[in-house]
Amino acid sequence: MTIDNQQYQVQGVPLLDIASEYGTPVYVYDGQKILDQVATLQNAFSSVNLKIKYATKALSNINILKLMKKAGTGVDAVSIEEVKLCLHVGYEPSEIMFTPNCVAFEEIQEAVDLGVMINIDNIPMLEHFGTYYGNSVPLCIRLNPHILAGGNAKISVGHIDSKFGISILQLKHVLKIVEVHNLKVAGLHVHTGSDILDAEVFLKGAEILFDAAKEFKDLQFLDFGGGFKVGYKEGDITTDMVEVGRKVSAAFKEFCKNYGRELEIWFEPGKFLVSECGYLLVNANVVKSTPASTFIGVDSGLNHLIRPMMYDAYHGVENISRVTGPDRVYTIVGYICETDTIAADRKLKEVKEGDVLAIKNAGAYGFSMASNYNSRLRPAEVLVLDGKAHLIRARESFEDILRHQIDIGL
């Protein structure tokens, strides 16, 4: 987002024009920013055989998936529905990794039938897989590395108390099952968490993967998960992709030399690729002063962007209706019947009723975590590409609220 000619713009398209054409609330994505992020990651790992598996769950509009495909990424899917979405937009099964957690074995079978790589995250499932498929279907095994890292407890998933993955301490058990069923283990995977700043955490994960990998003879890839930290506020320190790329690539090359074969290195970023590309544009419905603060009540809330309430996440906010004028301090809240504070005590250009605010970092886990709570409609989505705004999802209508409800005639 830039300010040009006294207007907030994305690729030369004024955001206020998008708000007036498509209404608010509306999610806007800068396609160029996504392509730039993909390129940054590709460049950071240019000396190794990198495969990016975009974490579909972060933002799963079919046009975003198609853009990723054009940019040369594969995908990581966590539900059979995400697998089907990826196939729908033209991904080859071989480009899709299925990383489910706590699903029924039938869902895994369905994914096998669709031809995608399965990432197994618990021992009972590994047993079922072995019994059912033996060595006829290659698979990946998700290990829990017992590393505590990540932006907050809810998104730290690689520690010993986490439900995800097979404990690295259970490796012997895994090896036994692999041997008994003669399993074809093509990959090993770790994902430590989200909002991980430090290259050392990725290196620690790498060491654990390398150690485990020595026990498997036919590996084709090692998957380091996602979790790179992006900037949310000005001055935020973010994952230094050049440093992570340099350090992890060096360690990976050394490992491959000892392993005797060049493997692929996989990453599954969500936020890194799509967080910063997104803006949620909302209308200031009410400017309400109390003895304690001045609230701006907007036409959105935890139903559209749950991250501030669920993770205490910080999202930058701008009043895009005004580029000049005095600053005032506001608390921005939603219209949901809950305390849905989007941002507290923020300095904005003085807000008048009807102004449009842009909530930043809304690309990842924004629309994809939206709901119809309070029987509200989910927003429209717009993708800006090559200097042109495209509506990529229509705003929901009241009929959508009634859809699938069955009136039993009471």
- What residues form the annotated binding site for pyridoxal 5'-phosphate? 227, 365
**CA-to-CA distance for 77 and 60, rounded, in angstroms?**
10
Q: Does 365 bind ligand LLP (CB under 6 A)?
A: yes
Question: What kind and span of H or E run contains 55?
Answer: strand 50-55
Backbone angles phi, psi at 342, to 5 degrees: -85, -40
**Binding test (CB under 6 A) with ligand LLP, winner from 69, 146, 204, 307:** 307
Positions 194 through 223 that interact with ligand LLP (CB under 6 A): 194
Cβ 153 to ligand LLP shortest distance, Å: 12
**CA-to-CA distance for 157 and 227, rounded, in angstroms?**
10
Secondary structure (3-state) at 138: coil
Whole-angstrom CA distances from 335 to 69, 166, 203, 352, 373 are 37, 42, 44, 17, 11
Q: Which is nearer to ligand LLP, 53 or 346 (CB)?
A: 53
Cβ 215 to ligand LLP shortest distance, Å: 22
**Binding test (CB under 6 A) with ligand LLP, winner from 132, 295, 311, 373:** 311
**Binding test (CB under 6 A) with ligand LLP, winner from 155, 178, 277, 305:** 155
Q: Does 226 bind ligand LLP (CB under 6 A)?
A: yes
Residues in binding site: 227, 307, 311, 338, 365
For residues 56 and 89, the answer to whether their CB atoms sit within 8 Å is no
**CA-to-CA distance for 63 and 90, rounded, in angstroms?**
11
Exactly one of 86, 140, 256, 337 is catalytic; name it: 337
Q: Which stretch binds ligand LLP (CB under 6 A): 108-116, 264-272, 328-336, 373-381?
A: 264-272
**Binding test (CB under 6 A) with ligand LLP, winner from 9, 61, 73, 99:** 99
Cβ 263 to ligand LLP shortest distance, Å: 19
Cβ 325 to ligand LLP shortest distance, Å: 33
Q: How far is CA 269 from the centre of its chain?
A: 7
Q: Does 158 bind ligand LLP (CB under 6 A)?
A: no
Helix axes 241-259 and 199-213, enclosed angle (nearest 10): 10
Q: Tell me the DSSP string of 177-240.
A: HHHHHT--EEEEE---BSSB--HHHHHHHHHHHHHHHTT-SS--EEE----BPPP-STT-----
The CB-nearest residue to ligand LLP is: 270
Strand partners, 367: none
Q: Does 334 bind ligand LLP (CB under 6 A)?
A: no
Q: Which is nearer to ligand LLP, 76 or 340 (CB)?
A: 76
**Binding test (CB under 6 A) with ligand LLP, winner from 10, 38, 44, 58:** 58
Q: Which is nearer to ligand LLP, 129 or 367 (CB)?
A: 367
Q: Which is nearer to ligand LLP, 10 or 149 (CB)?
A: 149
Q: Which two tokens stand for residue 2?
A: 């830039």
391: closest CA among 399, 381, 400?
381
The contact mask relative to ligand LLP for 267-286 (x = CB under 6 A, - = no) is -xxxxx--------------
Backbone angles phi, psi at 46, to 5 degrees: -70, -15
- The answer to whether residue 337 is catalytic is yes
Q: Which stretch binds ligand LLP (CB under 6 A): 198-206, 224-232, 241-249, 255-263?
A: 224-232
Secondary structure (3-state) at 76: strand
Residues at the interface with ligand LLP (CB under 6 A): 55, 58, 76, 99, 155, 191, 194, 225-228, 268-272, 307, 311, 364-365
- Residues with a known catalytic role: 337
